[in-house]
A and B are shown apart, each in its own frame.
Chain A
Amino acid sequence: MMASHFDIALCLLIFSVAAAALLGRQTFMAIVFFITYGLLLALAWLRLDAVDVALAEAAIGAGVTGILLLIARARLKAMDPRDAPLPHPAVRTIAALAAVSISAALGLRIWSLPPSEGLQKAVRARLSEAGTDNPVTAVLLNFRGWDTLLETLVLLAALLGAWTLSRDKDWPGRAGRAHHTLPDGVLAEFGRFLPPVALTIGVYLVWVGGHQPGGAFQGGTVLASAWIVTVMTGLLPAPRVDDASLRTALLAGPIAFVLLATAGLFADRFLYYPPEQAKALLLGLEAALAVAIATTLALLVFGAPQSREET
C-alpha cells in the first residue's frame, strides 16, 4: 500500500499536537491536547490496518488516560502546590540535542531496514487451531498468551500500588471520593441513559473479538466506563475496597488464566489449549479477562479511598 497526502498530513498533525501537549503553558490545555493526540493516533492505526489497536488506543490511550490526567490535575490544583522552576537553558539545549539525535538515528536506521516477511503467514497457517478467527486475539490469548497473563498481573499490581497510597484512617472505605449531584440534574440523567448503552456495546465488543476487531481489552474498557459514569454521576456509590465480590472480580482474570494455563499441563504443556476445545476455552477466558479489566480500570480511575475533607 502506498502512502497518500492524508498520511503525511496526519503525521504532521500528530507531531504538532504532541508538541502542543508537551510544550504548552497551561496544564489543562496540555491534557486536552494529549487526549486529542490519542484520538489522532487512533486514526493512524486505522490507516495502518490495525483496527484492534485503534479501538484500544481510543478507549484506553485517549479515554481512560484522559480521565486519570484530568482528575490528577484537579486534585493537584486544589492543593495549590509550590510552582516548580524551569530548568536552566543549558539543560534545554542538551535535551534538544539528545532528542534530535535519537530521532535522527532511529529515522535513518528505519529508512535503511532490509525488507522482511513478518509473521503474518506463520499466524495464518495455525489460525484454524487457535480457537478464534481474529488473528490479533489469537496472538494475544493463544500464541503469546504468556505476555497477556503477565499483563493481567501488572494491572493488578498497579491497582495494589495505588491502594497503598491511601491514608490509614481512610482504609478500608469506599474507593475514591464521594460524588454528590442533583438527583434530577443533567449529570444524573446522563448517568441514567449512558451506562445501559455502554454495557451493551461493551459486551458486544468482547463477543465480537472472536471474529472481528474487538476483544476483552476494548470491551472491558467500555464496561469500565459504564461503571465510572454511574459512580461519577452520583447514581451509585463507589464500591468498598474490602468487598469480597469486588476482589473476586479483580482476580477473575489472572486466576482464570493461570488455571487454564496449568490445565494445559495435563494435555501437553503450560498454556496449551487443545484445538477442539480452544474456541470455548478462549471465549470463557475473554469473559473473565473483560470482567477483571473492567473492574481494575474502574478502580484505578476511582482511586484509593479518600475522605472528603482531604485537600
Chain B
Amino acid sequence: MNLEIWIPYALCGSALIGLGLYGLLVNARLLRRILAFNVIGSGIFLLFGAMARRSGAPYADPVPQAMIITGIVVAIAATALALGLIVAHARAGGGEGLPGDDAMAEVQDDEGLDGMSDGVSDDVSDERPEAQESQR
C-alpha cells in the first residue's frame, strides 16, 4: 500500500476529536464527560504525533513529541482535579449531573443488561459489606 504512515493516524486523530466532542455533548454523567474530554485531548495528540512523522526523514520530529508529553502530563493534572471536583460536587448533594442538564428523555441506567457485570463491577475499595448491601 502506498499510503504514507502518518495519514491513517492523522485521520484517526481527527475522528477521535469528533467522537470525543459527541461524547462530551451527549453524555449526562460527569465522569463520562471527563472520558470524552480525554479522548478529545488524545485525538489532538495523535494528530500532532502524525504531523511529527510527515517530513520523510528516518526519525520523527522531536518538538511535537515534547509538546505531546507536556500535554499528556497537563491532561492528567486537569483530569485529577476535575475528578476531585465531581466527587466533591456529588458529596455536596449535586448528584452526578449538572443543573440545567434536564432535557428529560429517559434516565441513564448504570447496571448493564448483558451478563458481564456480576462480581467484577463492584468496587474493590475499602467499602464495608454493610455499605454494599444498602446500595441494592
Contact = CB atoms under 8 A, between A and B. Distances in A.
Answer yes or no: A and B touching, Cβ < 8 Å: yes
Interface of A: 1-5, 7-8, 11, 14-15, 18-19, 21-23, 25-31, 34, 37-38, 41, 44-45, 47-50, 52-53, 56-57, 60-61, 64-65, 68-89, 91-92, 94-96, 98-100, 102-104, 106-107, 110-111, 113, 115-121, 123, 135-136, 138-140, 143-144, 147-148, 151, 154-155, 157-159, 161-162, 165, 177-180, 215, 217, 293, 297, 300-301, 303-304, 308, 310-311
Contacts of B70: 140, 147-148, 151
B125 A2 contact: no
20 contacts: A3-B8, A18-B20, A21-B35, A48-B49, A50-B52, A71-B125, A72-B86, A75-B125, A84-B108, A86-B107, A91-B26, A102-B21, A103-B18, A107-B15, A120-B61, A158-B78, A162-B80, A162-B81, A178-B126, A297-B76
B106 interface: yes
Contacts of A159: 77, 80
Nearest to B50: A48
Contact of B31 (A11, A14, A72, A154): A72
A175 B16 CA distance: 35
B108 to A, nearest CB: 5
The DSSP consensus for interface residues of chain B is helix
B109 A53 contact: no
Contacts of B72: 53, 56-57, 60-61, 217
Q: Shortest 9 CB-CB distances between A and B: which pairs?
A: A84-B97, A103-B18, A22-B23, A74-B123, A158-B77, A106-B14, A84-B28, A95-B25, A82-B95
Given A1-B5, A21-B39, A99-B22, A27 B127 contact: no
Contact of B83 (A50, A68, A102): A68
A101 B12 CA distance: 14
Nearest to B1: A3
Nearest to B113: A25
Contacts of B29: 27, 84
Interface of B: 1-23, 25-32, 34-36, 38-39, 42, 45-47, 49-50, 52-57, 59-63, 65-70, 72-81, 83-88, 90-91, 94-97, 101-113, 116-117, 120-121, 123-127, 131, 135
A303 B26 CA distance: 29
Contacts of B35: 21-22, 30-31, 34, 69
Contact of B14 (A52, A107, A143, A297): A107
B4 to A, nearest CB: 7
Contact of A26 (B83, B111, B126, B131): B111
Contacts of A95: 21-22, 25-26
A140 B108 contact: no
Contacts of B94: 81
A83 B116 CA distance: 21
A188 B113 CA distance: 35
A87 B26 contact: yes
Contacts of B7: 3, 110-111
